[in-house]
Amino acid sequence: MKVQGTLKALRSLAVGVALVVSASPLALSVAHAKSALSLGIVLEPPHLDPTAGAAAAIDEVTYANVFEGLTRIGPNGEVLPALAKSWEISEDGLTYTFELQDGVTFHDGTPFSAEDVKFSLDRARAEDSTNAQKPLFAAISAVNVADEDTVQVTLSEPVGSFLFNLGWGDAVIVSKESAAGNKTNPIGTGPFKFDRWIKGQEISLDRYEGYWGTPVALEEASFKVIADPNAAFAAMMSGDVDAFPNFPAPETLIQFEADPRFKVAVGSTEGETILAMNNESGPLSNKLVRQAISHAVNKQALIDGAMFGRGTPIGSHFAPHHPAYEDLTGTYTFDPEKAKELLKEAGYAEGFTATLKLPPPQYARRGGELIRSDLQKVGINLEIVPLEWAQWLSEVFREKNYDFTIVSHTEPMDIGIYARDDYYFNYKNPAFDDIITQLNRETDEEKRYALMKQAQEMIAADAVNVFLFQLGKAGVWDANLQGLWVNSPIQANDITGVSWKN
Amino acid sequence: MDTFEAPIHPFRRAWKSRSFLIGLCLASLILIAGFISLFWTPHAIDSLNVANRLQASSSQHWLGTDQYGRDILSMLMIGARTSIIVALIAVGIGLLFGVPLGLLAATKRGLVEEAVMRTNDLIFAFPAILSAILITALLGPGAVNAVIAIGIFNIPVFARVARGGALSLSGRDFLLAARLSGKSGLRITLEHVLPNIANLLIVQATIQLSLGILAEAGLSYLGLGPQPPLASWGRMLNEAQTMMAFAPQLALYPGLAIVVSVLGFNLLGDGLRDLLDPRLRRRIR
């Protein structure tokens, strides 16, 4: 009797275990389909602190997801309230009073207050700040805490785009307690908190249950680093990643478009793709040589050959969808004969040899082969040096140890970088610096646009870089996903509004 | 008792060995293509013309053009040259370092042999292609580093073959005779041992050549091999992969080239072994 009873109990236990075991994968997969997102990114961020690095990849993981600023940029480039629920601007445009959100906490539990705003802005604009976009904060003369929920920012001169500037990833609010560790363990106020980072593979985020705003639909998200276009294609097709907001292999888009499982969204980016030239390196310090090179590169062939037509020609460092855009694409028409003449005039009739250092993205690797061939036809021999992303950031971007490189500048409205001292182009033109200084002071829209046009014309005339094309944005994602951005008005993969259908 | 002698009329028998013949044809095809590319290709490949891209086969471009408008046949010919040069130098490195090490181990025995052979085992323990990736990742991508990487894993292969061959000769009458005549160890090794293991080394070199071609293709597929504008089969394959849907020929041709050359050199090596191996030779007689 007893034995039989035990047997029966065992049997039912076995059945129970079997049921649990067989049911759990099902339960898991359902949960996965409903609330987890795996998203592909091409470049791995060097670290995860948006206030201490220029790499777009940092913002592509953390912007709006982990970190928030006083304001934020919306999917169409508009300025929206974030940690500041409202603001008032004084009549002279010099004093901004921000009313802060209530009940905000950082992911480590520390409450957010006006002190954190003061700390973050003062830290960003400090003399020894490592912020990559210090000019955004240049006009701030003081940050005062009026009370726990009110901050007053005083400017030394009016800045037309100040609220937009505060929406950049570089202007996010960090906590005094955790700011030092944000590179490896980012702690912000956003709806997702950092979970873990497997170097070279993925960064995972979890939903932060204590979030002050509208709760997000996703419970977890992982950002998978996939630079190789073949691997990106395979990962998308196999469902290993659910979304690839910036798909690296434009030639495969036809296949995704024909497949009902996927949605292909073609939008615009702020990515001016340039053949950057070290304006202090040998022959490249000569304007005639740079102009010759601008004539020698066949930009349309580059868009067709490297991007399979997905790109818009540009003639300066400015996004074509901006109202102040001026079409300067005719400044340097493709004309190898003219290029040779200019080289001869500059004293380089025999050409010269230089290096072309290429970061991993496809536009650079493919574009590099085409540009090497174009320049060879006018006598300039380029040695192609492929670099990993971290290598590129240190060797080219920081140490300026290069002749030519190809890269896409995806920050919005970033023509001001040409006025920076010590920027990797090594371009120095006081007249240009003046225009940018005036532009930063000017609040009248019409005058601002006129200055922007002047700026575009000047760097085109100086042929600082070869302006290749505006990077197209082609995102591919699961047809059941909704809420991903079609355009990239700022460097971001904002997944706060993303959810799965049904 | 075995006697070691130079093979007699190996070429007469060669015509009867099918694998030798097929291998010879395929390997010659690749070798000749690579050799011709030194002087002439149907089109220049360092001048890209996007307007001319992705053309089908025509009388102008026998195998069509790639995504940058380059002639695929010319690319394949130069790719053959790249592969063969990389593999040949890598085999050369293996022979140059591996054979003396192997002979040293065989003649000195004792501690020297232990040291040489255990180091060999260590290198051998890593899969060849993996260590090549490791080395190019450390040194950076490029043709020279690919050669070094592939060459290093050839060293233990040749060391083993040389040592094994030399050991099998030890105690032979002609070696004893040489020693009695007062020749030094080095002279005996050079004048008597080396010529007698040459067969083994030639066979091994042929096989390593095919492995070298495969390794070069693998490395350049991963972007660690020779850099553009130099053509390489592995990189052609890699670049073709995302275009499989509308231009499968871009992957097909370099793939076939790799298959043909690896098969060719392998068959050639097998055929040579059949012809040159003394034990098999007696059986054929």
**DSSP character string of A489-502:** SSS----TT-EE--
pLDDT band at A274 (very low <50, low <70, confident <90, very high): very high
Residue of B nearest to A233 (CA): B242
Residue with tokens 């060995």: B17
Instruction: Report CA Rg, chain B.
Output: 22
Within a 10 A sphere around the Cβ of A181, how many other Cβ atoms? Answer: 12
Strand extents, DSSP E, A252-305: 262-277
pLDDT for position B112: 84
CB contact A391 to B (< 8 Å)? no
Distance CA B219, CA B82 (A): 12
- For residue range A195-249, list pLDDT tens digits in order: 999 999 999 999 999 999 999 999 999 999 998 888 999 999 999 999 999 999 8
Highest mean pLDDT among A131-140, A460-469, B191-200, B245-254: A460-469
Per residue in A330-358, pLDDT (tens digit) is 999 999 999 999 999 999 999 999 999 99
Which pLDDT band holds residue A64 (cuts at 50, 70, 90)?
Answer: very high
- pLDDT, residue B168, reads 87
Q: How far apart are CA A489 and CA B241, in angstroms?
A: 32
What tens digit of pLDDT does each residue of B143-155 get? 888 898 889 889 9
Q: What angle do CA A187, A271, A164 make, to 5 degrees?
A: 55
Residue in chain A lying closest to B239 (CA):
A230
Q: Is any Cβ of chain A less than 8 angstroms from the Cβ of B138?
A: no
Q: Which of A164-173, A222-231, A280-289, A440-449 has the lowest mean pLDDT?
A: A440-449
> Residue B278's pLDDT is what?
58
**What span, in angstroms and rounded, lies between the C-alpha atoms of A375 and A340?**
10
Q: Nearest CA to CA, how far is B227 from chain A (Å)?
A: 7
Residues 6+ apart with CB under 8 A from A17: none
Mean local confidence (pLDDT), B210-233:
88
Confidence of residue A155 (pLDDT cuts 50, 70, 90): very high
∠ Cα B96 B97 B98 (to 5°): 105
pLDDT given at position B1: 46
Tell me if chain B has a CB within 8 Å of the CB of A384. Answer: yes
Residue of B43, B50, B139 for testing the chain A interface, max A β-carbons within 10 Å: B50
Predicted confidence band at A6 (pLDDT cuts at 50, 70, 90)? very low
DSSP classification of residue B241:
G
| A371–chain B Cβ distance below 8 A for any pair | no
Task: Say yes or no: B47 contacts chain A, CB-CB below 8 A.
Answer: yes
Domains of chain B and any CATH numbers: 13-41+65-283 (1.10.3720.10)
Stretch A54-78: mean pLDDT, rounded?
93
**B52 has a chain A CB within 8 A of its CB:** no
Say yes or no for a CB contact (<8 Å) between A370 and B228. no
Q: In this predicted complex, what is the ipTM?
A: 0.75
* Chain B residues with beta carbon closer than 8 angstroms to that of A385: 227
Helix spans in A325-443 (H): 336-345, 362-376, 389-392, 430-441
Per-residue pLDDT of A408-427, as tens digits, reads 998 888 899 999 988 999 99
Q: Do B238 and A233 touch (CB under 8 A)?
A: no
Two structure tokens written together for B184: 């030094």
Residue B114: other Cβ atoms inside 10 A = 11
Q: Do A367 and A374 touch, CB atoms closer than 8 A? A: no
Extract the tokens encoding A55.
Answer: 């790499």
Q: What is the pLDDT of residues B202-218, one digit of tens each?
A: 999 999 999 999 999 99
Q: Given pLDDT bands bounded at 50, 70 and 90, which one contains residue B37? A: very high
| Mean pLDDT calculated for residue range B59-81 | 90
Average pLDDT taken over every residue of chain A: 89
Residue among B67, B66, B61 nearest B43 (CA): B61
**Mean pLDDT, range B58-63, rounded to an integer:** 87
Q: Which residue of chain B is at minimal alpha-carbon distance from A253?
A: B242
Confidence band, pLDDT 50/70/90 cuts, at residue B280: low
Cα–Cα distance for residue pair B124/A160, rounded to 1 Å:
66
State residue B14's pLDDT score. Answer: 65
B51: closest chain A residue by CA: A301
CA distances from B264 to A326, B20, B203, B206, B270 (A): 60, 9, 13, 10, 10
| 3 state SS of A454 | helix
pLDDT band at A16 (very low <50, low <70, confident <90, very high): very low
Q: List the 266-305 stretch of A: residues with Cβ below 8 A of B.
A: 298, 301-302, 304-305
Phi-psi category of A89—alpha, beta or left, where left has phi over 0 and alpha has psi -120 to 50? beta
> How far apart are alpha carbons A454 and A457 in whole angstroms?
5
Among A259-273, A355-369, B131-145, which is the least confidently predicted range? B131-145
* Residue B12, pLDDT above cutoff 70: no
Q: Is A361 on the interface with B (CB under 8 A)?
A: no
Q: Residue ranges of the alpha helices (H) in A377-494?
A: 389-392, 430-441, 445-461
DSSP string, A198-249: ETTTEEEEEE-TT-SSSPPS-SEEEEEE---HHHHHHHHHHTS-SEETT-S-
Residues of A in contact with B242 (CB under 8 A): 229-230, 233, 249, 251-252
Whether residues A305 and B50 touch (CB distance < 8 A) is answered with yes
Phi, psi of A73, rounded to the nearest 5 degrees: -100, 130
Helix (H, G, I), strand (E, B) or coil at A450: helix
Instruction: Answer whether A373 sits within 8 Å of B223, measured CB to CB.
Output: no
Q: In what order do the strands lie in the sheet with A150-155?
A: A84-89, A95-100, A150-155, A140-147
pLDDT band of residue A442 (cuts 50, 70, 90) is confident
CA distances from B281 to A308, B198, B277 (A): 59, 16, 6
Verify whether the Cβ–Cβ distance B246 to A254 is below 8 Å: yes
pLDDT, average across residues A145-149? 92
Tokens for B230, please give them.
């130099």
Residue type, B100: P
Query: Is the per-residue pLDDT at A30 higher than 50?
Result: no
Nearest-Cα residue of chain A relative to residue B49: A301
For tokens 């028998």, what's the residue?
B13
A152-162 mean pLDDT: 90
Chain-chain contact of B50 with A376 (C-beta, under 8 angstroms): no
To the nearest whole number, what is the mean pLDDT of chain B? Answer: 85
pTM of the entire predicted model: 0.80
What's the pLDDT score for residue A119? 95
Could you tell me the pLDDT band of residue A135, with boundaries at 50, 70 and 90? confident
Residue where the block lists tokens 């060879």: A376
* Backbone angles phi and psi of B125, in degrees to 5: -65, -30
Nearest CA in chain B to A229: B242
Among candidates B46, B68, B238 on the partner chain, residue whose Cβ is nearest the Cβ of A230: B238
Whole-angstrom distance, CA of residue A179 vs CA of residue A177: 6
Tens digit of each residue's pLDDT (9 = 90 or more) over B101-121: 998 888 887 888 888 888 888
Region of poorest pLDDT, from A100-114, A116-130, A303-317, B128-142: B128-142
% of chain A beyond a pLDDT of 70: 93
Q: Would you tell me how many other CB atoms lie within 10 Å of the CB of residue A144?
A: 13
Other Cβ atoms closer than 10 A to A486 = 15
